[in-house]
Amino acid sequence: MNLKPFAEHFWAIAGAASVRTKIMGIILALTLLFGAGITFYVSVTLEAALRKQLEIRGASIATDLAARSADLLLTNNTYALHELIRNTVENHDDLRYAFVLDGAGRLAANSFTGGFPKGLREANVVSGEERFRLEVLRTEEGWLWDIAAPIFGGRVGTARVGLSEARLQTEVASTTQQLLVATVLVSELGLIAAYLLTWILTRPVIELVNITRAVGHGDLRQRARVWANDEVGRLSTAFNSMIDDLRSARNESERYNTQLLRRNKELAALYAVASAEERPADLRQTLQGGLAAALEATGFRAGWITLLDGDRYEVVCWQGLADEIGCQEAGSIGACPCDQAVGAQKPLIIPLRRDCPKRVALFADGGHANCHATAPLITKGLTVGVLNVAAADPGVFSSEDLDLLGAIARDLARAVENARLWEELKRKEEIRGRLLNMAIDAQEEERKRVARELHDDTGQAITSLMLGIKVASEAATIDDMRGRLRELRDIAAQTLTGLRDLARDLRPSMLDDLGIKAALERYVEGYAAKFGLPVDLEIAGFTPDRRLPPHIELTVFRIIQEALTNVAKHAQARSVSVVLELRSRSVVVVIEDDGVGFDVQQVLASPLAEAHLGLHGMRERALLVGGRLALESAPGHGTTVQVEIPIETPAMAEGKGDSVVADTSG
């Protein structure tokens, strides 16, 4: 038999009952079970005890009757025997009958008035060896206990009595009834106690349930009362701790959500600004798109961007303001309160002065701007511009808004830097193109010069040699031939000197053979002789076993050569100094003259011209080998050119014979 469905059905019903009902039901069931068990046990025990007592009492009556009737039977005193039986029956309420049989088994006397019952004599026969014999007989009155006791071992006769169970049953029933009444009373008391107990136990639980529902609806202000320091009290304490943890977690979650929303807003604004920056346009259009995206993301309606050039500012774009904002001429940033944000290099809220043109100008949709948030555009520690967002009330700007404007300003600053770098790159590319064209032209001119030199000097010298050899071969005398040969030798020597000078102009051989130190010393000597300009040359850090890599030696030599050439052409200097120092990880060159000087910024920023390509060429040469070139000059104060080129290892090269091996492993 499968009891699982029945058990599930029972638990579905029982499990739906409340805790109070379950506890009261359990206590009532236990009380009733205990009372029924006690009642049953007492009834059974009492009935067994009463039966035993009834048996002992019946045996006592029977043996007493047998002892007292012995003499009466022996004397055949029938009257006294009848009186004895009558008195015995009258003295015992539960004694239903008594009679005596003689030794022959005949009825000697009895207590029956309506005749002796048939079959009663044979119902209980006792032997002489038994003290008494008990038989339970079923009669019309119920069960009777018939007890027979022999008289003198049965030789004289037998005495028999019959006891009724009615009194026993009455006492058992009365006791059982009393026990049942007591069980009912105890059950009622148990129900009352169970109700009080469940009320004490379930009241905190019910309160916890109600608080749980309130907490489930988001009310974390609830607190459970701690009724006692028991399990339920500890549960209430733990529940309160859980509510505190939930409130802390919710506060933390709300804080994180606020930060997340603010971060999403910031990312949306930065994405919009970045999207505007990615569209191909010039700097003004890029900043205009970035300003529009910033205003849309932050929710403000008006703003403008100014760019700085030194201490001057210029409004480059605006939105939401009257058009006359953009018609203002460039001014000094120091004369504007916006200078506070530029100096602090952080976003600030700036109240607009009464004479500020931004306050005088109306919003595009009406109203006046009374303040604005100013965020400087900072890149590499320098402020390149200012982002301004206007509002009528300073209270509308929160700290989160200022942080967001600062992030947008940093992004716009990168756009400004990238735009300027792009302009610089285009300018450098233009310069590089001009330098390339100039180099090609110079190569062609050099080829022409070499060709002209070879044709005019060397060619003519060789022609003279050929003619001289012919004339010498036709000489009439030995002395005449020797004279002709001496002239030819002089012509050959002059031709060889010319070829060497031409090769040295193309590339100094001493640079490859002896290194830059010897090549510079030779070049400076020739330079001073050619231009009449003394050169103070200082070379430090070079030893016979320390050489620069060949490409760096050539770069340094050409930069010094170009710088000295510029001094000779433009500086009008009286003296010039050259310092070349080999350090542990770099080589430094300083060329300084006392000439007329020039404005470096103006010259470098002016339109390209061949007069300026020498400076750009020196800078390009330095950049190609990873170095840097700095120019310092001012009108009337001479010029200083400083070059520093990194090298990969202190031990640059080791020389053996005429070969040079540069160690560039680093």
What confidence tens digit (pLDDT) does each residue in 169-223 have? 888 888 888 888 888 888 888 888 878 877 777 777 777 788 888 888 878 787 7
For residue range 300-311, what is the model confidence (pLDDT) as tens digits? Answer: 878 888 887 766
**What are the φ/ψ torsions at residue 462 (nearest 5 degrees)?**
-65, -40
For residue range 417-475, what is the model confidence (pLDDT) as tens digits? Answer: 777 777 777 766 776 666 566 655 555 555 655 655 565 566 666 766 777 776 677 77
Please report which confidence band the pLDDT of residue 408 belongs to, taking 50, 70 and 90 as the band edges: confident
Sheet holding 628-633, edge to edge: 535-540, 576-582, 586-593, 639-646, 628-633
**Going from the N-terminus, what domains does the chain have, and what CATH number goes with each?**
19-177 (3.30.450.20), 260-506 (3.30.450.40), 508-662 (3.30.565.10)
Residue 16: its pLDDT value, please? 64
Residue 346 burial by CB count (10 A; 0-12/13-18/19+): exposed, middle or buried? Answer: middle
Q: Which helix (H) or strand (E) holds 176?
A: helix 166-216
CA distance 70 to 60: 15
**pTM of the predicted model, to two decimals?**
0.38
The residues with which 660 forms a beta bridge, in sequence order, are 655
340 or 163, higher pLDDT: 163
CA distance 81 to 77: 6
CB 72 within 8 A of CB 80: yes
Residue 591: its pLDDT value, please? 93
The answer, yes or no, to whether residue 637 has pLDDT greater than 70, is: yes
Residue 122: its pLDDT value, please? 86
For residue range 380-397, what is the model confidence (pLDDT) as tens digits? Answer: 777 788 888 887 777 777
513 or 48, higher pLDDT: 48
- Which residues 6+ apart lie within 8 Å of 142 measured at CB? 164, 165, 166
Q: Residue 333 carries which DSSP code?
A: G
Q: Which helix (H) or strand (E) holds 294?
A: helix 283-298
**Nearest by Cα to 97 from 81, 113, 77:** 113
Distances (CA, A) of 128 to 103, 131, 155, 198: 11, 8, 8, 69
Residue 328: its pLDDT value, please? 53
Q: Which residues of 87-109 are buried (b: 16+ CB within 10 A; e: fewer)?
A: ebbeeeebbbbbbbbbeeeeebb
Strand ranges, E, within 243-311? 302-309
135 or 378, higher pLDDT: 135
